[in-house]
Chain A
Amino acid sequence: DAKTTQPPSMDCAEGRAANLPCNHSTISGNEYVYWYRQIHSQGPQYIIHGLKNNETNEMASLIITEDRKSSTLILPHATLRDTAVYYCIVRVFQYSSASKIIFGSGTRLSIRP
């Protein structure tokens, strides 16, 4: 799986949009971009994933650049409960068997009141 690069930490004011960047310059054509987050002492939580089109769900939006070498996770209105470590992962989508998730070091997002 392709390696990703994320800033080790970021902070954001409550109520503002949090934009978390991720570089994946060696991504292959069949690799998806996944985002997970881990709140302290809990298991990771799935947020969103995409291939090349921008994606949005009830939690966040995922913006993938046209060359697919980077992406941004957007939390539109950050709250204190969004304080967590956010992991950007690229991996091949497997239809009939499960592919491994290899976690990097992620971005520690702190939301300030």
Chain B
Amino acid sequence: GAVVSQHPSRVICKSGTSVKIECRSLDFQATTMFWYRQFPKQSLMLMATSNEGSKATYEQGVEKDKFLINHASLTLSTLTVTSAHPEDSSFYICSARLGQGSDTQYFGPGTRLTVL
């Protein structure tokens, strides 16, 4: 149980295009999901908290207009990197909280974004 998937696992795009990454909780409902970014040889950096049915909460320094987050259902959150540039190339990871009574978060396998 407690499986989180991400799609796609890898994506390569041209500079200036937008890329959408999906995060799904496969066997549980997640009212809250989190998005992280990880650059090579660095730790995970929290980007935003995604709440079902409401606006996401972004961490300081993360541009909300560039990283659009939508959490339209209890099993799906999407992150759209708009007008991507090479500096947006990174490993994007989502996590989902198991639910009330459990504050353990489970992570997806990550999406490797390369912007040319």
Q: Which residue numbers of A lie inside 8 Å of B, CB to CB? A: 32, 34, 36, 38, 41-46, 49, 87, 91, 93-106
**Interchain CB contact under 8 A, A43 and B101:** no
Which residues of chain A are within 8 angstroms of B49 by Cβ–Cβ distance? 98, 100
CA of A34 to CA of B95, assembled, Å? 15
**Interchain CB contact under 8 A, A41 and B43:** no
**Interchain CB contact under 8 A, A95 and B100:** yes
- If A42-B109, A101-B95 touch, does A93 touch B43 (CB 8 Å cutoff)? no
Provide the main secondary structure of the chain A interface. Answer: loop
**Interchain CB contact under 8 A, A49 and B93:** no
Q: Which residue numbers of B lie inside 8 Å of A, CB to CB? A: 4, 6, 31-32, 34, 36, 43-46, 49, 91, 93, 95, 97, 100-101, 103-110, 112
**Interchain CB contact under 8 A, A94 and B103:** yes
**Interchain CB contact under 8 A, A100 and B103:** no
- If A100-B34, A100-B46, A105-B43 touch, does A43 touch B100 (CB 8 Å cutoff)? no
Q: B100's closest neighbor in chain A, by CB?
A: A96
**Interchain CB contact under 8 A, A98 and B93:** no
Which residues of chain B are within 8 angstroms of A105 by Cβ–Cβ distance? 43
Across the interface, A43 reaches (CB within 8 A) one of B43, B103, B110, namely: B110
